A and B are shown apart, each in its own frame.
Chain A
Amino acid sequence: MIQEPFAIGSSHIHRLDPRLKILFATAYSFIVALSNRFPALFAALMLSLLLIGLARLNVWKAAKRMALVNGLILFFWLVIPLTFEGTALFHLGPLSVTREGVLLCARISLKSNAILLIFIALVSTMPITTLGHAMNRLGLPGKLIHLLLLTYRYVFVIDQEYQRLVRAAKIRGFRPETTINTYRTYAYLMGMLFVRASARAERVHHAMVCRGFDGRFYCLRDFSSTRTDWAWSAFMISIILGLVGLEWTRII
């Protein structure tokens, strides 16, 4: 089932101006992605963890999400050190583990975790509707926001429809296997999903037109920045300057 486990909360981070959170998360993510020095990357990971702590999220749930991503990173650890050119650290039979490969993997792991943690701390801590409205206020194209919000609205409906079709298939004794019959069942199931979705889209569109939909989607929500928001922006800007300093001035 699709859920938004982090969206609701009462921490300071949850109450911040969503526009501020989106802007900061974007700037921070890009700086981390472009950094290469270990002091900056370690600092970034610590800062991301700090913000996760400040958002008072369910640590267990956040850890489960991170485990998934780190599974992929494990794949890099298995392949890159063995295939990378460079000075050998030690040998495993005919293969050699290179220093450059290990360093690269370490960088990727730090960056990836820092970026995803900040994303959970700042972006996943708002409902998607708020995200859409804030993105609209930040000047993203109205059509794109409209599409995002409608898609989000219908993901849950379509997911339920899918669950219903799967239940019906199971009751008829369907068991997924590697056979053409299984693939056909899935293909038809999806086809049915699209047919129903498209019929629903038509009904929704007619209903919208009946209610005076003129092609524009209005975001009525306005965001205002409070004094706390200004304090947080100062804090976030200093974080960014600090990271930039660590990466490009080589203090440490």
Chain B
Amino acid sequence: MHISEGVLSGPVLVSGIVLAAAGTAIGLKNLDYDRIPQIGILSASFFVASLIHVPIGVSSVHLILNGFVGLILGWGAFPAILVALTLQAVLFQFGGITALGVNTVIMASPAVLCYFLFGRLIIKKPSVALPAAFAAGALSVFLAGILLGLALVFTEKDFFKVSTIVVMAHLPVMAVEGVITALCVGFLKRVQPSMLPGYLRS
């Protein structure tokens, strides 16, 4: 989910950069140097996982997984997503420099929100955890779509219809992301529950 370069207005680009910098600063502050190898390798695996194209009807979508990043990394989602987007820009030219801040905010802030809403639920018993994981996966994509739409509308109010189309286009992605996040959390609960946040505390 990207806004391409050259679409947004100056104020939107600047607020994106300010918010992304703030989120990244919080994320980095909460991050011990000891945990950097773990976050780095996880953010590499999110980068790779987001290249997976999942079939849906006649077409296919690539996974975004920002809800899952949020559930596992919390505030760490900001630096992890910023780094992943930078790598995507340099390796695939999916984006340039100016929209990096806005795109980070679009994907990372729903991730952090989902962490606070559902992070504590996914270590509970499966009948609570799996719906919570589904909600985190679906909601984070939905909110990312809404933020993307807002960025467009704040740039130009006539972008409203484009924004609506963009949000609608994300509805099927939402469902797929929710299902995959739920299944993936279920898998981790059985295979390596220590990866889920708060596991040691419970």
| Residues of chain A whose beta carbon lies under 8 Å from any beta carbon of chain B | 2-4, 25-26, 29-30, 32-34, 65-66, 68-69, 72-73, 76, 79-80, 83-85, 100-101, 104, 107-116, 118-120, 123-124, 128, 131, 141, 143-144, 146-155, 157-159, 162, 176-178, 180, 182-184, 186-188, 190-195, 197-198, 200-202, 204-205, 208, 215-217
Contact = CB atoms under 8 A, between A and B. Distances in A.
Majority-rule SS of A interface residues: helix
A197 B68 CA distance: 15
A33 B10 contact: yes
Contact of A178 (B56, B95, B182): B56
A150 B79 CA distance: 13
Contact of B7 (A108, A114, A146, A193): A108
B37 A115 contact: no
Give the 4 A-B CB pairs with smallest separation, nearest first.
A111-B6, A150-B40, A187-B183, A215-B33
B86 to A, nearest CB: 6
A161 to B, nearest CB: 8
A79 B6 contact: no
Contacts, number: 237
Interface of B: 2, 4-8, 10, 13, 24-25, 28, 31-34, 36-45, 47-49, 51-52, 54-57, 60, 63, 65, 72, 79-80, 82-84, 86-87, 89-98, 156, 158-162, 165, 176, 179-184, 186-188, 191-192, 195
B96 A29 contact: yes
11 contacts: A4-B90, A33-B8, A80-B159, A116-B5, A124-B90, A144-B28, A149-B40, A151-B84, A151-B87, A153-B44, A193-B45
A33 B6 contact: yes
Given A29-B98, A115-B6, A186 B37 contact: no
Given A144-B82, A195-B195, A216-B33, A26 B44 contact: no
A208 B107 CA distance: 31
A163 to B, nearest CB: 9
B68 to A, nearest CB: 8
A176 B161 contact: no
Contact of B183 (A65, A68, A155, A183): A183
Given A194-B42, A198-B195, A119 B184 contact: no
Given A113-B6, A146-B36, A155-B48, 14 more contacts: A30-B97, A68-B92, A68-B94, A69-B4, A80-B162, A83-B160, A104-B156, A118-B96, A151-B43, A178-B56, A187-B182, A191-B187, A191-B191, A205-B38
Contacts of A215: 32-34
Contact of B97 (A26, A107, A152): A26
Contact of B158 (A29, A83, A109, A154): A83
Contacts of B33: 143, 146, 215-217
A85 B97 contact: no
Given A76-B162, A119-B89, A195-B195, A110 B6 contact: yes
A72 B4 contact: yes
A186 B180 contact: yes
A145 to B, nearest CB: 10
A191 B5 CA distance: 33
Most chain A C-beta atoms within 10 Å of own C-beta, residue among B5, B7, B34, B41 = B41
Contacts of A66: 93
